[in-house]
């Protein structure tokens, strides 16, 4: 093997390593630190997701004399999600983005009508959420950055003519202060107020994002989510991990079997273990599929919106498999090249 051949091999190896690292080099240093680590997929601008949780049991324990203990089989629990996110200000020194969302969740029982007033009402009225969110990211020219996420949502089984009712409105806010140690490590601390645990609660949060190498990394917002990421290349991403989801829904009982109560709320929370695959179909169009197991934590009906409100029905959901598919749009690569001057 001559010297010329050896040189070509060495240059090829070096070129391969550079190409592998380019996955994590979509932006250059601008003088301002960026909160995210390199190599993350581009942010989702529009998302349509369909999720199915089939065949699981619900068991209810009555805490009020108007109801009886009951149980039933839920044939399917389906959820549709639409999300839109767009920039308002997109500068190196400040990013402000807004988001809109709509979700609709339905429950269909195996034997309907059932012997439970609550089950029948749940099948007749889907749970809906319409909301608007605001995201603010303020980096500094050092290693520190600030993030605020705030949202307002209308949650419940409301008919369209009651969308403006104040009792359906829920607020959430999460401020964070973070530090970018290097391109592969970023962390932040703060607190969050919202309904992730299925009830209104203020709790501390820790964001920790780290790349171990060009393929493996971790993304977390503890205690809400913890995900391990595997990057095959810039067009294929795999995730696995745990995520806590929750919400509070106002149940419109004015013309239902629950009319004897003043206000009813459904507190809903679950722990999910999932495996996710996301793939680029086109420069700006992506596809995702996710499967896993859902463990129900709370699904209780109360006579008020507070965390200590008296329970009317305590419901327990058995574990269920879940699968969802999504189509989403991301900013094209040219957008980042234009905004960063690459």
CA angle 134, 138, 142 (to 5 degrees): 160
Q: 241: alpha, beta or left, given left = phi > 0 and alpha = psi -120 to 50? A: left
Phi, psi of 232 (to 5 degrees): -70, -45
Contact between 103 and 51 under an 8 Å Cβ cutoff? The reply is no
pLDDT confidence of residue 263: 79
Domains of the chain, residue spans: 39-340
The predicted pLDDT at position 324 comes to: 97
Q: What is the pLDDT of residues 70-108, one digit of tens each?
A: 999 999 999 999 999 999 998 889 999 999 999 999 999
d(CA 125, CA 255): 12
Distance separating alpha carbons of residues 202 and 197, to the nearest angstrom: 10
pTM of the prediction?
0.84
Q: Is the pLDDT confidence value at 229 over 50?
A: yes
pLDDT in tens, 273-326: 999 999 999 999 999 999 999 999 999 998 888 777 888 889 999 999 999 999
pLDDT interval class at 117 (50, 70, 90): confident
Overall fold of domain 39-340? Porin (2.40.160)
> Which band of pLDDT confidence, cut at 50, 70 and 90, is reported for residue 4?
very low
Task: Please identify which residue in the block is written with the tokens 């550079």.
Answer: 18
């Amino acid at each position: 093997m001559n010297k010329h051949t050896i040189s070509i091999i060495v240059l090829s190896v070096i070129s391969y390593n550079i190409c592998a690292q380019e996955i994590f080099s979509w932006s250059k240093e601008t003088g301002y630190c960026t909160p995210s680590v390199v190599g993350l997929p581009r942010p989702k601008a529009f998302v349509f997701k369909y999720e199915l949780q089939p065949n699981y049991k619900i068991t209810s324990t009555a805490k009020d004399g108007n109801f009886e203990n009951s149980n039933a089989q839920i044939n399917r629990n389906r959820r549709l999600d639409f999300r839109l996110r767009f920039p308002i200000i997109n500068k190196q020194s400040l990013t402000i983005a807004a988001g809109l969302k709509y979700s609709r969740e339905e429950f269909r029982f195996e034997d309907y009508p059932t012997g439970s007033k609550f089950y029948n009402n749940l099948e007749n009225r889907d749970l809906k959420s319409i909301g608007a969110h605001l995201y603010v990211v303020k980096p500094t020219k050092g290693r520190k950055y600030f993030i605020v996420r705030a949202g307002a949502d209308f949650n419940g089984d409301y008919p369209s003519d009651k969308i403006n009712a104040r009792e359906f409105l829920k607020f959430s806010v999460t401020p964070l202060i973070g530090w970018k140690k290097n391109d592969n490590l970023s962390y932040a601390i703060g607190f969050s107020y919202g309904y992730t645990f299925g009830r209104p609660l203020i709790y501390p949060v820790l964001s920790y994002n780290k790349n171990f190498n060009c393929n493996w990394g971790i993304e977390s917002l503890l205690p809400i989510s913890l995900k391990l990421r595997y990057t095959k290349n810039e067009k294929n991403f795999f995730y696995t991990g745990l995520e806590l989801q929750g919400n509070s829904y106002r149940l419109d009982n004015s013309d239902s079997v629950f009319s004897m109560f003043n206000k009813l709320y459904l507190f809903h929370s679950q722990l999910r273990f999932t495996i996710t695959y996301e793939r680029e179909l086109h420069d700006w169009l992506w596809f995702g599929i996710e499967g896993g197991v859902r463990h129900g934590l709370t699904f209780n009906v109360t006579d008020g919106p507070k965390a200590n409100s008296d329970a009317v029905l305590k419901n327990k959901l058995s574990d269920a498999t879940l699968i969802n598919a999504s189509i989403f749009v991301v900013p094209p690569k040219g957008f980042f090249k234009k905004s960063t001057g690459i």
